[in-house]
Amino acid sequence: MSIRSLCSRHTIDVYSLTQGKDSSGGNTVSTSAVYSSMPCNVQPATSEVITEYKQRDEKVTYSVFWADFTKTINIGHRVVYGGKNFLVVGLKEDTQKQKWKRADLKIEHS
C-alpha cells in the first residue's frame, strides 16, 4: 500500500482563524475555509508525541498525516474531524524522503 493511499483513509475540514473586534469592542473570531474534505490519516497521538507536547504544557490528542505536498496546514488552523474541533499546535514533515506531513492537534474548547 502506498503512502498516499495510507494518508487518504479519512477526511478533515481545515479553517484559518482570524481574531477581531465587534462594534462594541468585544473579541470575535471569524473562520475561513482552507480545505474541505482533505484526504488524510487521523491517528491518536503516540506516547512520544504526547510527552513532547506535555513538556510545553500542550495536551495533544491526535496527529493528522497527509501526503499531498500541495496542501499546507499551519499552526493555529482549526481542524474539524468526527464532529469535533481541534487546533493545530505543531507540524512535522518527513524531510528525508518527503513522503508525508504531520499536524499535531489538541481539542479546541469553546
State pLDDT tens for residues 16-62.
999 888 888 888 889 999 999 999 999 999 999 999 999 999 999 99
- Expressed in angstroms, the distance from the first to the final Cα of the chain is 39
Provide, rounded to the nearest whole percent, the portion of the chain with pLDDT above 90: 67
Q: Which domain holds residue 39?
A: 3-107
Classify residue 50 by burial, with Cβ atoms within 10 Å: 0-12, 13-18, 19+.
middle
pLDDT of residue 2: 65
Is 4's pLDDT higher than 80?
no
- Amino acid 95 reads T
Whole-number Cα distances in Å, 4 to 53, 60, 61, 66, 68: 27, 24, 23, 8, 8
Q: What is the total count of domains within the chain?
A: 1
CATH number of the domain enclosing 27: 2.40.10.270
CB 46 within 8 A of CB 101: no
